[in-house]
Amino acid sequence: MTTSTLPGGAAPSLDERLKRANPLVKALRRPEVGAGVAAILIFIFFSVVTDSFLTPAGVSTWLYSASLYGIMAVAVALLMIGGEFDLSAGAMTGTTGLMVGVLTTWYGLSVWVALIIALAFALGIGFFNGIIVMKTGLPSFIVTLGTFFILQGINLAVTKLITGQVAIQGMTNVPGYSGVKAIFGESIGFGSSGFHLETAVIWWVVITIIATVVLMRTRAGNWIFAVGGQLQSARQTGVPVNRTKIGLFMTTAGCGWLVGMLSLFDVGTVQATTGIGDEFIYIICAVVGGCLLTGGFGSAAGAAIGALIYGMTLQGIVFAQWDNNWLKAFLGAMLLLAVLINLYVRRQAGGRE
Amino acid sequence: MNENEEVADERVLEKALARDSAPPETGAAGTVPGSELLTDAVDMSIVGEPAILEVRDIGKTYGSIIALKGVSASVSASEVLCVLGDNGAGKSTFIKILAGAHDYSSGALLVDGVKRHFSSPRAALDAGVATVYQDLAVVPLMPVWRNFFLGSELSSAGMLKVRQMKAITKQELGKMGIDLRDVDQPIGTLSGGERQSVAIARAVYFGARVVILDEPTSALGVKQAGVVLKYIARARDNGLGVVFITHNPHHAYPVGDRFLLLKRGVSLGLYDKSEIAIDELTGLMAGGAELEALAHELARA
């Protein structure tokens, strides 16, 4: 420990160290700052390089694209701050969409009842993930990898078994469809400007705000940071560790349901492969937004900005008419950069253990 | 037989005589004003104000293993009890009993003179006995104030009272002599000694009357250990009872009022500071003869 060489009592040596803190590091200590800077650069870049990026229609497109990833990224960020992963989050968006589709188009259930059944199922899976992880102490990476494959298999097998196809059709003819669409899949136009706001974007903003408030201003938020930062300490100070973590798994699954509904009621159909592979994009968005893979640090707003970066790049590359595969390369580079910045910040800001 | 009986009778008679003659003797002593006052004072301290935490002849067995046997000690307000012992001396078992992590098998544990069995660390905490473990139960990446209130956050209508918690943290740390410019910094950026005293301040704020410090100086350098000892003295001056567990007599001696020496699960004695010098303490701890033998062996090599 280097501190033992510092002269004098506690207070003066502390002040010395505070003065020495690099202002750049101090700024980057806020998890969302780095991602914010990157988002602005990417925004400027595509605004200059392409014609349609900054048009009202263009903005609507990348905002919507970012929103679906953003909702999940925020939920996954909370879970990661709590020290866990959920690889089943992507498949869950497909499972819940397929469930509502099958229950309404094949079994004639009321669309509202189907919604609630799907939500209950999602929360049940989240609870299952959480309780297995907490009771066995197995890494959530493995446990949710298992759930991921189970859901992926069920999505395809059950959909084929019941419908004989790999997609749901005829959703638009289900009674009550338009009522539900108003909540999940509405597109609000703004006159002749061409700008239209999808309800998904509103959901995204609302969920980001709620998550931020919970994280920073409630007891639950304190507990999330604690269970992810130092589980043993959280236990010793009386934090309800199991309740917190299981709650986080259920939140992630619940958001999976929300995104499932948002995409189902936007286009009126859902593929059995929906969401497969997206789980890593959520994690990347959260990491780009400043979440540590080891837990205990990060922000909901950061994850939302991470998703914004992803949405802008995804659509920006389309507008620029580049090869779509550049997206993957870009994503990888962003991830590496973010992880390196995170590592640097953590070493500066409290790696002493 | 008869003879024996007679002898026995004689002894009884002798005892009776001794008893008869005893009261005048004590009475004579009692007539000296100074000693009478002293006796009263002692009586009052025993009857009127029992130690906050006391163990009497306490023991613990794990199956067939005797981890601790016949240990007695006590700690009152504004007093530091040092528990010294080498590895395997029974210090951990002793802490676990005081902290409520393990129940004891024999003897008695008294809080304010009342016998208690702590069912859990929570029960010990509710009785005002808080334990600060070596890992301090802090989350390094979280701000100091969040750590201070972790698990006992102040909130109204579901929202944290951030400003109030920050102010209390600053104030309570100030009482320990730590002046933090920024309670928002991650606690991991504080030095080991400061983190230790944050943990102590937290225990005190949440109602501890006795804090048990598990080897607070063992992982620290000389200067930082000095800082922690200063905080221990500060806690004592604030009216706290401190149980300071260590294997370093040089850390224990300057702050300790009494010293409990443990070795292989038994007590080597409980000494007041006035009764023992630091050399004796060190000697007892290491086992004087063993230390001499070691010195001899090393000298030859």
Interface test with A, best of B150, B160, B165 (most A CBs within 10 A): B150
What confidence tens digit (pLDDT) does each residue in B13-48 have? 444 444 444 444 433 433 433 333 333 334 444 445
Interface test with B, best of A80, A218, A237 (most B CBs within 10 A): A237
Tell me if B181 and A217 make a contact (CB, 8 A cut-off).
no
Upper half-sphere CA count for residue A257 (Cβ side, 13 Å): 21
Measured between alpha carbons, how far is B110 from B8 in angstroms, rounded to an integer? 41
In terms of CA atoms, which chain A residue is nearest residue B231? A10
Q: Which residues of B touch A226 (CB under 8 A)?
A: 139, 142, 146, 150-151
Give a yes or no: residue A5 inside a domain: no
Q: Give the residue with greater pLDDT, B151 vs A210.
A: A210
Nearest to A154 by CA among A174, A132, A125: A125
B177 CB-contact burial (10 Å; exposed 0-12 / middle 13-18 / buried 19+): middle
Q: Which residues of A touch B220 (CB under 8 A)?
A: 1, 4
Number of structural domains, chain A? 1
Give a yes or no: residue A281 inside a domain: yes
What is the mean pLDDT of the segment spanning A332-344?
83
**Helical ranges in chain B per DSSP H:** 2-30, 33-47, 91-99, 121-126, 144-148, 162-175, 192-205, 222-237, 249-255, 278-286, 288-300
A293 touches chain B (CB under 8 A): no
pLDDT of A155 reads 94
Q: What are phi and psi of B223, to 5 degrees?
A: -65, -45
What confidence tens digit (pLDDT) does each residue in A26-37 have? 666 677 888 888
A218 touches chain B (CB under 8 A): yes
Query: How many cross-chain Cβ pairs, A to B, lie less than 8 Å apart?
Result: 126
Measured between alpha carbons, how far is B292 from B298 in angstroms, rounded to an integer? 10
pLDDT of A13 reads 43
Tell me if A14 and B194 make a contact (CB, 8 A cut-off).
yes
A230 touches chain B (CB under 8 A): yes
pLDDT of A349 reads 57
Q: Mean pLDDT of all residues in chain A?
A: 88
Confidence band, pLDDT 50/70/90 cuts, at residue A141: very high
Q: Mean pLDDT of all residues in chain B?
A: 80
Spell A5-33 as b/e; 16+ CB within 10 A means b. Answer: ebeebbeebbeeeeeeeeeeeeebbebbb
Q: Which residues of B touch A1 (CB under 8 A)?
A: 191-192, 219-221, 224
Domain of residue A274 covers: 31-347
What is the mean pLDDT of the segment spanning B176-195?
84
pLDDT of A75 reads 97
Give a yes or no: residue A19 inside a domain: no
Question: Contact, A286 vs A298, CB < 8 A?
Answer: yes
What CATH number did the domain enclosing A146 receive?
A: 1.10.3470
In terms of CA atoms, which chain B residue is nearest residue A12? B179
In terms of CA atoms, which chain B residue is nearest residue A235? B137
Tokens 């509502």 belong to: A100
Residue A187 Cα, gap to closest chain B Cα (Å) = 34
Q: Does B247 have pLDDT greater than 90?
A: no
Q: What is the DSSP letter of B274?
A: G
Confidence band, pLDDT 50/70/90 cuts, at residue A17: very low
A347 touches chain B (CB under 8 A): no
Residue B14 tokens, joined: 């002798």
Give a yes or no: residue A6 inside a domain: no
Say which CATH superfamily domain B50-300 falls into: P-loop containing nucleotide triphosphate hydrolases (3.40.50.300)
Give a yes or no: residue A174 inside a domain: yes
Tell me if B179 and A11 make a contact (CB, 8 A cut-off).
yes
**How do the domains of chain B map onto residue ranges?**
2-45, 50-300
pLDDT of B22 reads 40
Confidence band, pLDDT 50/70/90 cuts, at residue A85: very high
Nearest to B191 by CA among A351, A4, A8: A4
Supply the angle between the helices A31-49 and A326-350 in degrees, to the nearest 10. 150
What is the mean pLDDT of the segment spanning A234-255?
93
Give a yes or no: residue A179 inside a domain: yes
Enter the ipTM: 0.82
- Centre a 10 Å sphere on the Cβ of residue A146 and count the other Cβ atoms it contains: 14
Q: Does A229 have pLDDT greater than 90?
A: yes
Q: Does A303 have pLDDT greater than 80?
A: yes
In terms of CA atoms, which chain B residue is nearest residue A220? B158
